[in-house]
Structure 1
């Protein structure tokens, strides 16, 4: 390890809640981004190596917890079904990514000693 380089680092995960219920987090936002690209919950789930059932449950939970639809879906048929991330969902992604970047910038600039758990000789 290079001299003066700490083995310690700070890591964060950002969650957004409403009334104590998780609305957005890293995986949920990634799912929304995949749904945006794929226009399908099923295809988005496959991209994330997640079951369709799990993805559908997350979408329902996000919609309920947010109090507005972040994703709208249509059932399959002759033309197939699909899913769309709503304008509220698009704004949620944008705001989450901006918040995540601000938190990462703050963490990156936070001072961390080479041994943050060391006991001070002068606890004073």
Structure 2
């Protein structure tokens, strides 16, 4: 399923959203008021989606799979961890990466079933 760059960014924002306050700001369209940490994480994941070699393949670029892969790829290839144990904990053993990846999967599934309307926050 095809998606635009803006839809990819919105899916990333929703998947990586850390709390209700940030979600409320996104719903209001007040993206300039979200935390710098959140902005940086979203920017890093979106940059990965737009620039990584694996994200430029026909099977990923501009696809819903690519949007999902941007979130999982961010945690596996971009995010810094204090050590390999922390990385394993986050990605495989129920940590933040696993939870955010599951959220991305759920959002992409909803997008596939219900379309772009799931990105409308108002």
Per the normalisation by structure 2, the TM-score is: 0.28
**Structure with the bigger percentage of strand:** 1
Which is higher, the Rg of structure 1 or of structure 2?
Answer: 1
- Higher RCO (Cα < 8 Å, 6 or more apart): 2
Q: Which structure features the higher share of helix residues?
A: 2
**TM score, norm. by length of structure 1:** 0.28
